[in-house]
Amino acid sequence: MNDSTRKEISRLVIDIKEQVQYLEELGVETLAADLPVNTFNRVDKSISQKTKAGGEHSDSPRVDTLKRPDGITTKSPPKNSTRQKDFLNSTRISSVSRPSKEIQSSNQDSDKKVNPPVEKPMTKTQTLTESLFGDASVSLPKTDETLEKIYKEIGGDCSRCVLCEKRTQVVNSVGDPDADLMFIGEAPGADEDEQGEPFVGRAGKLLTKIIEAMKLSREKVFIGNINRCRPPGNRQPVPEEVEQCKPFLIREISVVRPKVIVVMGNTACQNLLGTKVGITKLRGNFQEYYGVKVMPTFHPAYLLRDPRKKREVWEDMKMVTDFLANNGSE
């Protein structure tokens, strides 16, 4: 094999890696279409290794696959997904796509499953129908509790889920308890686990820059995670762990009562909204959660891996800024 052939192969490998990363973000799990057997095996192995590596964009091993007519194998919702309980149980999440606020009531009233993550883009009137919570018309409950009370109840030695075993400390949310804007991620990473504050590592610094570009500061927003303890090896929290910790976040939301929640990354978005629809499809469209507008966007850690996605995040943040500037109107 001569040098130019080697270079050509290297270029092809780099191209394939970039495509795999992009397809993972779209929710495609394996490629089986029109590829020679050897190539397929290599790509599949590469995806499988990435899956084992975990992270907020890795695919869950609990997800089954579904073969499309065009040969691409996609993830399908788990057959026996655990219906999580919530301290407020009878709310539902609906999609309010820009600019239309039209919601298909027939979808809201049904309990049918959403389609697998890889499908046609959502239309302006399409509604997210898979929810763990029921009716979205229910707004946040009134509460007179304080954040301090919630944190006291969580406790510094919380052992409600197995994430307590490997964590250094519980990482509670930070920021302005009267903030109009809340940022929510998946779970603390190594830096957060060490320092006891959410979003303080490399991804956190990028989040701070995003917040400042919105002409705000970390002190003027509220920042937290769905799970407060670092999962070992930065794996995704499993549903049982989310079920234990998420009610505290919802209580925080009830206290802070933000006008907008920015939920960052696929896992956080799916765990917050209770949907299997992927972040690539959801981002850029306001969703609704207990009557609060939610803007799904990519996780800053993902932007560190693929800076090309910063443009999309900035578009999402501009929508949030405009919404806040218009005093709650899209």
Please give the residue ranges that form the binding site for ligand SF4 (CB under 6 A). Answer: 154, 158-161, 163-164, 170, 227-229, 241, 244-245
Say how far apart CA 192 and CA 198 lie, in whole Å: 5
| Cβ within 8 Å of residue 59, ≥6 positions away | 24, 27, 29, 47, 51, 75
Closest CA to 132 of 28, 226, 52: 226
Closest CA to 22 of 309, 283, 268: 309
Task: Rank residues 200 and 320 by Cβ distance to ligand SF4 and give the closer one.
Answer: 200
- The dihedral through the CA atoms of 227, 116, 26, 280 has a sign that is negative
Say how far apart CA 281 and CA 274 lie, in whole Å: 15
Task: Rank residues 98 and 160 by Cβ distance to ligand SF4 and give the closer one.
Answer: 160
Sheet holding 64-67, edge to edge: 28-30, 73-76, 64-67
Task: Rank residues 126 and 227 by Cβ distance to ligand SF4 and give the closer one.
Answer: 227
Task: Rank residues 201 and 231 by Cβ distance to ligand SF4 and give the closer one.
Answer: 231
Q: How far is the CB of 253 from ligand SF4 (least distance, A)?
A: 16
Task: Rank residues 16 and 162 by Cβ distance to ligand SF4 and give the closer one.
Answer: 162
Task: Rank residues 32 and 164 by Cβ distance to ligand SF4 and give the closer one.
Answer: 164
Q: How far is the CB of 256 from ligand SF4 (least distance, A)?
A: 18
Q: How far is the CB of 265 from ligand SF4 (least distance, A)?
A: 17
Q: How far is the CB of 272 from ligand SF4 (least distance, A)?
A: 15
- As given in the structure block, the two tokens for residue 213 are 């570009």
Write down the H helix ranges in 27-110: 37-53, 105-109
The residues with which 289 forms a beta bridge, in sequence order, are: 292
Q: How far is the CB of 155 from ligand SF4 (least distance, A)?
A: 8
Q: How far is the CB of 266 from ligand SF4 (least distance, A)?
A: 19
